[in-house]
A and B are shown apart, each in its own frame.
Chain A
Amino acid sequence: MAVTTENLPSGEQERPIGFGRLKRKEDARFIRGKGNYLDDIRLPGMLHAAILRSPYAHAKINSIDTSAALAHPNVAAVITAKDLETLGLAWMPTISYDTQAVLAGDKVRFQGQEVACVIATDEYSARDALALIEVDYDPLPAVVNARKALDPDAPLIRDDKQGQLDNLASPTWEAGDEEAADRVFAEADVVVEQDMIYPRCHPAPLETCGMIADFNPQTGQLDIYNGNQAPHAHRTVYAHVAGLAEHMIRIRCNDIGGGFGNKVPVYPGYVCAIAGSIVAGRPVKWIEDRSENLMSTGFARDYVMHGAICAKDGRITGLKVDVIADHGAFDSTAQPTKFPAGFFHICCGSYALEAAHVKVKAVYTNKAPGGVAYRCSFRITEAVYLVERMVGALAMEMGVDPIELRMRSFIAPEQFPYETTTGWTFDSGDYANTMRVAMEIAGYDELRREQAEKRARGELMGIGVAFFTEGVGAGPRKHMDILGLSMNDGADLRIHPSGKAVVSLSCQTQGQGHETTFAQIVAEELGIPPEDVEVRHGDTDKSPYGLGTYGSRSTPVSGGAVAIVSRKVRDKARLIAATMLETRPEDLAWEKGRWYVKGDPEQGVLIEQIAARAYSGEPLPEGYEGGLDAQVIYDPPNLTYPYGAYIAVVDIDPETAAVKVRRFIAVDDCGVRINPMIVDGQIHGGIAEGIGIALMEVITFDEEGNCLNGSFMDYLIPTALECPDFELGATVTPCPHHPLGAKGVGESPNVGTPPAIVAAVIDALHETHGVTHIDMPCTPARVWAAMQGRPEPPQ
């Protein structure tokens, strides 16, 4: 059971009017197995699509013979790049302004790339017919290692792009001040450098990606059923890609079995389903299998990093980072337009550095395209891992306790709002306090004593520390967009005559509990029970425009929108209340659920009485149109900056090198918590994912570019048995610019956990085995190699 510093819910708090530990409204259907996922949806006359994929990482396509597949009695159509060319759908834009082949025509560029699509009457026949398609390939040498992608003799991957003469995917992008950083390094007392890799991993949602496309040739309407994280943005993309009118496209998101960034991009399979429905004139369902999900859809990370960090007078003063990003065969990395390395330049961390400099370049390789922001605000995960590993290495070099070095170097509370050397404005924080809370829960000094005793007995125990600051809730219109779309979100609130409310959102839950959290925001602002608020989302015809859910942006952006739209409704209610109470609006005061006359609290009207009046035949205020509703688009003034202190305790078997995470302490400060139970749940899930990334998850390739982790046999995700009882704590530093004082939290645990565990593994092995660094994943074999004095990066 989780230990938390918060009070456990009292009977009263279980049904709060507003914020508090409310059980999730959506769980009633989920825990009974009554969710409605994509594969639960069956439309009359629906056909099924299956995709033929390349067995080669890099090969020229000489010919594709589909005649035998077409002869299969249950096959309706077989689509290849040639067919798509006639529809103008052979290539599609990625979310990073690159292009990606929907179906390969000229050559294949990664193993698992889409080559042909079969449409059949059932999913079994569609898969059977794949084996009947004959493709003649000429295999080409593959580029697998990002460090070698720019070698002069490296095979050219993107010969489809005019003027592309090498495998550079995006030129060097810089942040910070290089000269200033050089000066700080020159004056430093200690400098430490370290190479490290954040290996390629995968969000691996349990529900894989898929779509039902239903094009009606009579009306020209395209109905899409598709669990994705940004339905409105997807609709705009389809309008551009398919040349269809945006208002004739409707996307409905089913219940989503996890997204984690994997369901942000538009995938070739989606375009194939749409093309298939247009060609066949019937609904077409396409759902990828597990291997297709792992081998072809958006991976995460794959950052090859070199860091240098320095200290003067005992505190951290400077950081320099040089990164090669591996984007695979097509650059479909997820980030706002102006930030080709996402928010990586937040890698200056939680420390008051004198200078920092960051440069990132990206390369193409013959691997699946990405990288998506896996439970990560655009490369912040990589950034935090880099800086926390560097701080750990510096502390080790200086012989200082890793918490002590952080304490000396933190940005102080009085320095907020704090301008970082790489251009961020951190909004608020008291880092040292949060670190101290984590130390108290952990019993840090006692742990260090225990470690020393165990070491004397030949046992290996490690204590790892990570402290992170994230920038989440993208973002301000003046700073960021994706494909030219501002990263704002809408909310639409309607109060019915009975006082029940419907709030429509543009963000899209994938398990985050939006149906509860956003009902609680309306409940808090209007003083009505959360069960009287229905949260609508996931239907582009029935919700306002916005950019969706990823980058921990739902509460920072849509949460702000819902708070403001609720306040607008409250202000309208005040006008009606004044008429009802025969006074002036400015003579009324608000308490939860009720406007009353200042100085005469007995004289008041409830929000449901006001709602009834708003739709009645009774008089309304002069000029008031009637009804009780409002809508807004929220443009956040800044990101929100949640932070946290994490401590991991691991035991390592001295003989087998197996790592066991014995304790995990996470103290998060995400500002005001709307539903602390949901926040705890998010943190639990993210820590579990972080344990997986640190200990077992990795996608590797052999020299020919064959993916070695294409199933859950080979791509391991953690189970409850790898997870200790999480020990959670909280500090609350409200966000000064968010309407509710809230910050995002969903991604924090995935960001903070891996560096804490890796630090613990190194801490366990440093004194006895001289280990100063190990790359993830810390599998028994890789930890053993490090113990033998030859740590190796993953393949």
Chain B
Amino acid sequence: MQTPAPFEYERATSLAGAIAALKAAGAEARVIAGGHSLLPMMKLRLASPERLIDINDLESDLAYIREQQGEIRIGALTRHAELLDSELLAEHFPVFRDAEEVIADPVVRNRGTIGGSLCQADPGEDLSAVCAALKAHVVLQGPSGERIVAMREFQLGPYVTVVAPDEILTEVRIRTSPGAGSAYEKVERRAGDFAIGAAAAALEIEGGTIAAAGVALSALAPTTIEITRAEELLRGARPSEELFEQAGGIASEDCAPMADGRGPVDYKRHLAGVLTKRALRRAAARALQTEA
């Protein structure tokens, strides 16, 4: 049996209480929600937090997917399974369902949360790329109130984010717009494995022209990476196979993969191109409503 090192545990009964507990416990405390990244790391003794603050009782406050003020707002405790099942999300941002269908397995999806996924900031994690491509913002709550951070500024490095030790990510916000289409493409060694490489693409098409574009890659750099040169190329252009091929070429050049058990650098660069092209192709088709 794999056993974690000793730790203390408390169960928060309110968001304010959880934040106060984090502040009191200091830097060696961790919030636990689904626990599907943190607990394995603790059992492998790669992580040894001194105190866990369990927020699973805050579901009534933090588990929701709703439309509000031209945005889709997702509570941080929303489980993968709920993201997968949400018709509202599928209608506006089908990239979520694409990604959720290939995230881990039902056991993990029943427990793991969007807040946990983003805060873990694993470079191979899927929802970070999805949210980056959608230009999402996240709400962080701390002792001195809340602040809103763009996904682009959220990750500071592998497994490191801007979330302060006494802050909790509470919500993800994504602006809705007509003519939006999005898609996720992933290649994995086996169902449920982390990606060898994955690409999220989001397009807004107005009058046959791309008005806004987001392209983000997972597992193809030390962090989630947005391919801004490709986004610039796409903006203002008319969607075409050649354009997406070109955007894929940029993704191949601008990604920064590392060789590991999933593959060498050249293959991963190749994948970045192929998957970016495919994700853009599907995103555009959905935006043009040629695909359900």
Q: Which residues of A contact B (CB under 8 A)?
A: 39, 123-124, 127-128, 287, 289-291, 655-658, 695-696, 700, 708-709, 711, 713-714, 716, 718-719, 721-722, 779-781, 784-785
In the complex, the answer to whether B1 meets A123 with C-beta atoms within 8 Å is yes
In the complex, the answer to whether B191 meets A779 with C-beta atoms within 8 Å is no
Most interface-central of B190, B196, B271 (chain A CB within 10 A): B190
As a 0/1 sequence over residues 218 to 248 of chain B, the CB contacts with chain A under 8 angstroms (1 = contact) are 0000000000000000000000000000000
Contact of B187 among A291, A700, A718, A780 (CB under 8 A): A780
**Residue in B closest to A122 when the chains form the complex, CB atoms:** B3
Q: List 15 A-B contacts (CB under 8 A).
A: A39-B1, A124-B3, A128-B5, A128-B6, A289-B2, A291-B44, A656-B187, A656-B275, A700-B261, A713-B194, A719-B105, A722-B191, A780-B267, A781-B267, A781-B268
**Residue in A closest to B268 when the chains form the complex, CB atoms:** A781
Chain B residues, CB < 8 A from A781: 196, 262-264, 267-268
Most interface-central of B3, B44, B194 (chain A CB within 10 A): B3
Q: Does B189 contact A (CB under 8 A)?
A: yes
Q: Does B175 contact A (CB under 8 A)?
A: no
Q: Does B192 contact A (CB under 8 A)?
A: yes
Measured CB to CB, the closest approach of chain A to B123, in angstroms, equals 14
Chain A residues, CB < 8 A from B192: 719, 721
In the complex, the answer to whether B2 meets A780 with C-beta atoms within 8 Å is no
In the complex, the answer to whether B267 meets A709 with C-beta atoms within 8 Å is no
As a 0/1 sequence over residues 1 to 24 of chain B, the CB contacts with chain A under 8 angstroms (1 = contact) are 111011000000000000000000
Q: Does B67 contact A (CB under 8 A)?
A: no
Chain A residues, CB < 8 A from B261: 700, 708-709, 714
| Cα A289 to Cα B196 with chains together (Å) | 27
Q: Does B274 contact A (CB under 8 A)?
A: yes
Chain B residues, CB < 8 A from A289: 1-2
| Cα A655 to Cα B276 with chains together (Å) | 12
The 6 closest A-B pairs by CB, nearest first: A781-B263, A721-B191, A289-B2, A781-B267, A655-B274, A716-B190
In the complex, the answer to whether A656 meets B271 with C-beta atoms within 8 Å is yes
**Residue in A closest to B273 when the chains form the complex, CB atoms:** A655
Interface residues on B, range: 20 to 34
In the complex, the answer to whether B6 meets A124 with C-beta atoms within 8 Å is yes
Measured CB to CB, the closest approach of chain A to B147, in angstroms, equals 34
Q: Does B270 contact A (CB under 8 A)?
A: yes
In the complex, the answer to whether A696 meets B3 with C-beta atoms within 8 Å is no
In the complex, the answer to whether A718 meets B3 with C-beta atoms within 8 Å is no
In the complex, the answer to whether A291 meets B267 with C-beta atoms within 8 Å is no
Q: Does B85 contact A (CB under 8 A)?
A: no
| Cα A122 to Cα B121 with chains together (Å) | 34
Measured CB to CB, the closest approach of chain A to B286, in angstroms, equals 20
Chain B 256-284 residues near chain A, CB threshold 8 A: 261-264, 267-268, 270-271, 274-275
Measured CB to CB, the closest approach of chain A to B282, in angstroms, equals 14
| Cα A695 to Cα B189 with chains together (Å) | 8
Chain A residues, CB < 8 A from B191: 719, 721-722
Chain A residues, CB < 8 A from B253: none
In the complex, the answer to whether A696 meets B1 with C-beta atoms within 8 Å is no
Chain B 186-201 residues near chain A, CB threshold 8 A: 187, 189-194, 196
Chain B 165-199 residues near chain A, CB threshold 8 A: 187, 189-194, 196
Most interface-central of B1, B5, B6 (chain A CB within 10 A): B1
Chain A residues, CB < 8 A from B275: 656
Chain A residues, CB < 8 A from B189: 696, 716, 779-780
| Cα A714 to Cα B1 with chains together (Å) | 18
**Residue in A closest to B197 when the chains form the complex, CB atoms:** A656
| Cα A714 to Cα B44 with chains together (Å) | 14
Measured CB to CB, the closest approach of chain B to A476, in angstroms, equals 42
| Cα A287 to Cα B264 with chains together (Å) | 36
Measured CB to CB, the closest approach of chain B to A720, in angstroms, equals 8
| Cα A39 to Cα B1 with chains together (Å) | 9
In the complex, the answer to whether B193 meets A658 with C-beta atoms within 8 Å is no
**Residue in A closest to B267 when the chains form the complex, CB atoms:** A781
| Cα A39 to Cα B275 with chains together (Å) | 45
Measured CB to CB, the closest approach of chain B to A170, in angstroms, equals 31
| Cα A166 to Cα B261 with chains together (Å) | 31
| Cα A141 to Cα B191 with chains together (Å) | 38
Contact of B2 among A39, A291, A657, A722 (CB under 8 A): A291
| Cα A711 to Cα B41 with chains together (Å) | 12
Most interface-central of A39, A657, A695, A780 (chain B CB within 10 A): A780
Chain B residues, CB < 8 A from A128: 5-6
Chain A residues, CB < 8 A from B262: 779, 781
Chain B residues, CB < 8 A from A290: 2
| Cα A290 to Cα B274 with chains together (Å) | 36
Chain B residues, CB < 8 A from A696: 189-190
Measured CB to CB, the closest approach of chain B to A750, in angstroms, equals 18
In the complex, the answer to whether A656 meets B274 with C-beta atoms within 8 Å is yes
Assess A784 versus B267: contact at CB under 8 Å? Given A128-B5, A289-B1. Answer: yes
Chain A residues, CB < 8 A from B194: 713
Chain A residues, CB < 8 A from B3: 123-124, 127
Chain A residues, CB < 8 A from B268: 781
Chain A residues, CB < 8 A from B190: 695-696, 716, 718-719, 721-722
**Residue in B closest to A783 when the chains form the complex, CB atoms:** B267
Measured CB to CB, the closest approach of chain A to B217, in angstroms, equals 14
| Cα A440 to Cα B266 with chains together (Å) | 42
Chain B residues, CB < 8 A from A722: 190-191
Chain B residues, CB < 8 A from A657: 267
Chain A residues, CB < 8 A from B267: 657, 780-781, 784-785
Chain B residues, CB < 8 A from A656: 187, 271, 274-275
Measured CB to CB, the closest approach of chain A to B137, in angstroms, equals 31
Chain B residues, CB < 8 A from A124: 3, 6
Measured CB to CB, the closest approach of chain B to A721, in angstroms, equals 4
Chain B residues, CB < 8 A from A291: 2, 44
Most interface-central of B105, B192, B263, B268 (chain A CB within 10 A): B263
Q: A123-B3, A656-B275, A781-B263 are in contact. List 16 more A-B contacts (CB 8 A).
A: A39-B1, A123-B1, A124-B3, A127-B3, A289-B1, A289-B2, A700-B261, A709-B261, A713-B194, A716-B190, A716-B193, A779-B189, A780-B189, A780-B196, A781-B267, A781-B268
| Cα A291 to Cα B5 with chains together (Å) | 17
Chain B residues, CB < 8 A from A708: 261
Measured CB to CB, the closest approach of chain A to B54, in angstroms, equals 19
**Residue in B closest to A785 when the chains form the complex, CB atoms:** B267
Contact of B44 among A123, A695, A711 (CB under 8 A): A711
Measured CB to CB, the closest approach of chain B to A55, in angstroms, equals 13
Measured CB to CB, the closest approach of chain A to B124, in angstroms, equals 10
**Residue in B closest to A779 when the chains form the complex, CB atoms:** B189
Chain A residues, CB < 8 A from B270: 784
**Residue in B closest to A709 when the chains form the complex, CB atoms:** B261
| Cα A700 to Cα B264 with chains together (Å) | 15
Measured CB to CB, the closest approach of chain B to A788, in angstroms, equals 8
| Cα A615 to Cα B22 with chains together (Å) | 75
**Residue in A closest to B264 when the chains form the complex, CB atoms:** A781
| Cα A720 to Cα B61 with chains together (Å) | 37
| Cα A658 to Cα B192 with chains together (Å) | 15
| Cα A722 to Cα B2 with chains together (Å) | 28
**Residue in B closest to A127 when the chains form the complex, CB atoms:** B3
**Residue in A closest to B105 when the chains form the complex, CB atoms:** A719
| Cα A396 to Cα B69 with chains together (Å) | 65
| Cα A709 to Cα B260 with chains together (Å) | 11
Chain A residues, CB < 8 A from B187: 656, 658, 780
Measured CB to CB, the closest approach of chain A to B250, in angstroms, equals 17
| Cα A255 to Cα B65 with chains together (Å) | 46
Measured CB to CB, the closest approach of chain B to A692, in angstroms, equals 8
